[in-house]
Structure 1
């Protein structure tokens, strides 16, 4: 058996994230911390899209894991001392922020907000290391979207998500006009698909 260690670890990571997300969303065999209404494809509830995305992620993880068992050998690279230290510090900071946030402001008392702030702090710190920057920016962008969507609306959340994720790639940082063009296109597309066609009830613009 020729194992591709990178694909195997990636597949396991995808499955773990999907399982955790489904449990938090209440969409893993009907159990979880929250029981969000699922709805239908035409009248989606708040738990519908997360459920689809997470089950898709779990399927992708299983496929990546299966392929990785036969596509090797491709060993994992060893972490440098900086990467190990930054990862440990990011985990510590993320846990601390998630624990302290509810005491700083009543608006952060919601478990999801505190969790999101902790994750955002941890992933932002990961970006300090070049080795972790890609995953830090992408995961941090998703956290920013979740934190901004309710209060600042879909458009602001999308702009923040796109620009944070784009920072992961040096080529995008050198060509901000291309990122801006992509942002305009995605804003229009998401409004047309999710607001106009699917009539998903979320704030489009900031609510103050």
Structure 2
């Protein structure tokens, strides 16, 4: 079979079989073939989104100067660093071939909902009930998200996190958190 090398012959050739060829399917397969680690790409894009959201939220605060940072400086810096880190992770997921990379499986809703509920519970409980109760609630609710619940582990983690949080936020930084419910202070 002799092929014509003219531009008209190249662009007018139709695939046989009676149907028009669908380039969208080939493009999707080609894109999937270029993403070597879907988990890294998804995690990287999530980091980028959180970093951008942090920067946007922090822009409402004054930045200050180089010598005297304002309240918006550190969150903007962290947001930019998180977005850059996310971009690096996503690029690695596209550029670096990983032999054992698995596709992203279905989302497990129970852990996702329980971890979000734990963070929300902490935010709602820390002012009225204090750092101790809020931290214990955070640990108990988030431990239910895992496959195995161990009461010993929950108690040990709760005690360690309450002690560490109190040492850092209340005693070292002097933040105005109550350690116990307001009735006991």
Structure 2 CA distance, aligned partners of 1:37 and 1:144? 31
- CA change 1:205–1:6 in 2 (3 A) is same
In the alignment, structure 1 residue 181 sits paired with structure 2 residue 165: no
Structure 1 residues 136 and 18: CA distance shift in structure 2, 3 A = farther
**Is 1:18 aligned with 2:51?**
yes
Could you tell me how far apart the structure 1 residues matched to 2:73 and 2:121 are?
A: 20
Of 117, 121, 124, 1:147 maps to: 124
TM-score, length of structure 2 as denominator length: 0.61
What residue ranges of structure 2 are gaps of 5+ in the alignment?
Answer: 1-33, 65-69
The separation in 2 between residues aligned to 1:66 and 1:60, in whole angstroms, is 10
Q: Distance in 2 between matches of 1:139 and 1:154?
A: 18
Q: Distance in 2 between matches of 1:188 and 1:159?
A: 11
Shift of 1:165: 1.3
How has the CA–CA distance of structure 1 residues 197 and 54 changed in structure 2, closer, same or farther, with 3 Å as cutoff? same
Partner of 1:8: 41
Q: Give the structure 2 partner of residue 201 of structure 1.
A: 176
Deviations 1:30-57 (A, max 9, x none): x24xx3899xxxxx96x78866765554
Counterpart Cα distance in 2 of 1:51 and 1:159: 30
CA-CA distance at 1:7 after TM superposition: 0.9
Q: Deviations over 1:87-139 (max 9, x none)?
A: xxxxxxxxxxxxxxxxxxxxxxxxxxxxxxxxxxxxxxxxxxxx222332223
Which TM-score applies when normalising by structure 1?
0.56
The aligned residue for residue 107 of structure 1 is none
Task: Give the unaligned 5+ runs of structure 1.
Answer: 39-43, 84-130
Between Structure 1 and Structure 2, whose CA radius of gyration is higher? 2
CA–CA distance in structure 2, aligned partners of residues 48 and 205 of structure 1: 32
Instruction: Show CA shifts across 1:118-170 (max 9, x none).
Output: xxxxxxxxxxxxx2223322232222222222222211111111111111112
- Residues 27-38 of structure 1 mapped to structure 2, 5 A cutoff: 27=58, 31-32=59-60, 35=61
Compute the displacement of 1:192 (Å). Answer: 1.1
Contact 2:38–2:104 (CA under 8 A) maintained in structure 1: no
Give the 5 Å matches for 1:161-180.
161-171=138-148, 173=149, 175-180=150-155
In structure 2, how many angstroms separate the alpha carbons of the residues matched to 1:4 and 1:159? 36
User: Aligned-pair RMSD on alpha carbons?
Assistant: 3.2
Aligned counterparts of 1:143 and 1:37: Cα–Cα separation in 2: 28
